[in-house]
Amino acid sequence: MNKIIQVQLSVMMFLEFFIWGSWYVTMGIYLPNSLGASDPEIAMAYSTQSWGAIIAPFIIGLIADRYFNAERILGVLHLIGAVLMVQLAYATSFNGFYPYILGYMILYMPTLALVNSVSFNQMDDPAKQFSLVRVFGTTGWIVAGLAISYFFHWDSVEGLANGHLKNTFLMTAFASGVLGFFSFTLPKTPPAISGKRKIRIADIIGLEALKLLKDRNFLVFFLASVFICIPLAFYYQHAGQFLGEIGITNPAGKMTIGQISEILFMLLLPYFFKRFGFKKTMIVAMLAWSFRYICFAYGNAGEFSFLLLLGIALHGICYDFFFVSGQIYTDSKAGPKYKSAAQGLITLATYGVGMLIGFWIAGRITDYFTLEDISHNWERIWLFPAAFAFGVSLLFMFLFKNERIAYKS
């Protein structure tokens, strides 16, 4: 991979995640403040990510992998996405907002696989080169959050009062348009398989990997992965809303601490994994989920604000130690023959089914603990995912038998 292509891929990855980070974190603040959305409606909006994750394999498997170059589909999806984002910015009610966000996420989620396909197709040694490109994606998300809070001040008290958060969707539309046109300049990535070859639905959603569930350890890991997505959904759906509601300034900017921590703990993961093994790494990750929500439950905007920052900073352990370790474990158990199918199945089960259930539960619990002044009893809300994550960690601790897994970057 030459330097020019590496720069192109880095810019692509930066814009891909800048786009996602530009609106996703603050949507939970925008919907109740600007559109008067209820907690179940906020859950509906965030659950579009899961619907997108469920539908994405079909778009990739039936279209992208068979008929068209990946970079062209990437460009078209982002150009349509730019139009939908403009519509979101000018929606005046949740009923007008929801169809556009659903359509957008159905189009956006497949692009996450497409940017990986374009990248891998140009790399001589993906194991070493991909991380150098992927880090620009995390950087893009961080820059988006910092820009919202510290450059434009859209999530400030004045910004919220004046409805400035709608500009996050316009910023996303602009970036999406840029990436849409830029995609057509990317190196050609032809279809992975012939359009004449018959494709089974089982191949697309990874059903062949179901036979791995006969292995008790893999079954325990699979169920733990689905269940841990329930507390994960609380963070994605309500963390920004929570910080804004209790009076934390610049919530979008402060939540970028989580992405910074993600980069740092990604560097620590190889050492921890090799030193302590897969099981202990996973248990630490799940206990970190529980501890972060305890920090949220008892933190505040005053003297205990450090607990909130600590809870956000734990994102690196929570995400990297669990999901990246899980990908390594899945590859190891599946082997070359079923590796792709197994990863597809895990993605569908976690980001699709698990998160969908999690968003629904989070919306219901948050709605249940709504107070008369439309604020929330956040202590009670955050203790639920804390207890749930702790319960999942105990089940994994006692049911998963320790086995040695080699770390593969």
- 12-23 tens-digit pLDDT: 999 999 999 999
Predicted confidence at residue 201, as pLDDT, reads: 66
pLDDT, tens digit (0-9, with 9 covering 90-100), for 380-400: 999 999 999 999 999 999 999
Q: For the chain, which residues make up each domain, given as ranges? A: 1-199, 209-409
Confidence bin at 308 (pLDDT 50/70/90): very high
Q: For 31-50, how does the pLDDT look when each residue is reduced to its tens digit (9 = 90+)?
A: 999 999 999 999 999 999 99
109 vs 340 pLDDT, higher one: 109
For the domain 1-199, what is the CATH code? 1.20.1250.20
pLDDT digits (tens, 9 = 90+) for 48-57: 999 999 888 7
What is the pLDDT, as a whole number, of residue 192? Answer: 64
Please report which confidence band the pLDDT of residue 224 belongs to, taking 50, 70 and 90 as the band edges: very high
> What is the mean predicted confidence (pLDDT) over 335-355?
82
Closest CA to 13 of 86, 122, 150, 155: 122
CA 376 to CA 381: how far, in whole Å? 8
What number is the average pLDDT over the span 170-179? 98
The arithmetic mean of pLDDT across residues 194-206, rounded, is 62
Are 1-199 and 209-409 in the same CATH fold?
yes
Has residue 340 got a pLDDT over 80? no
Distance CA 29, CA 143 (A): 19
The per-residue pLDDT for 387 is: 98
Please report which residue ranges of 207-304 form alpha helices under DSSP H.
216-245, 251-254, 256-298
* Residue 379 CB-half CA count within 13 A: 3
Q: What pLDDT shows up at residue 328?
A: 86
Q: CA 163, CA 178: separation in Å to the nearest integer?
A: 25
- Would you say residue 284 has pLDDT above 60? yes
pLDDT range class, residue 304, cuts 50, 70, 90:
very high
Q: Determine which of 19-28, 196-205, 281-290, 321-330 has the lowest per-residue pLDDT on average.
A: 196-205
At residue 400, the pLDDT reads 96
Q: Is the pLDDT of residue 129 over 80?
A: yes
* % of residues, the chain, pLDDT over 90: 70
| Of the candidates 99, 81, 91, the residue with the CA atom closest to the CA atom of residue 19 | 81
Q: What is the arithmetic mean of pLDDT over 281-295?
A: 97
**Nearest C-alpha neighbor of 250 from the set 328, 145, 351:** 145
Task: Give the CA-trace dihedral at 368, 357, 20, 330, to 10 degrees.
Answer: 140
pLDDT category, 334, cuts 50, 70, 90? confident
Q: How many CB atoms lie within 10 A of CB 337?
A: 10
Among 83-87, 336-340, 349-353, the minimum mean pLDDT is found in: 336-340
First-last CA distance in the chain: 19
Average pLDDT on 279-283 reads 95
Mean pLDDT estimate for the chain:
91
Give 276's Cβ-side CA count (13 Å radius). 15
| pLDDT over 60 at 195, yes or no | no
In this structure, which topology does domain 209-409 adopt according to CATH? Answer: Growth Hormone; Chain: A; (1.20.1250)
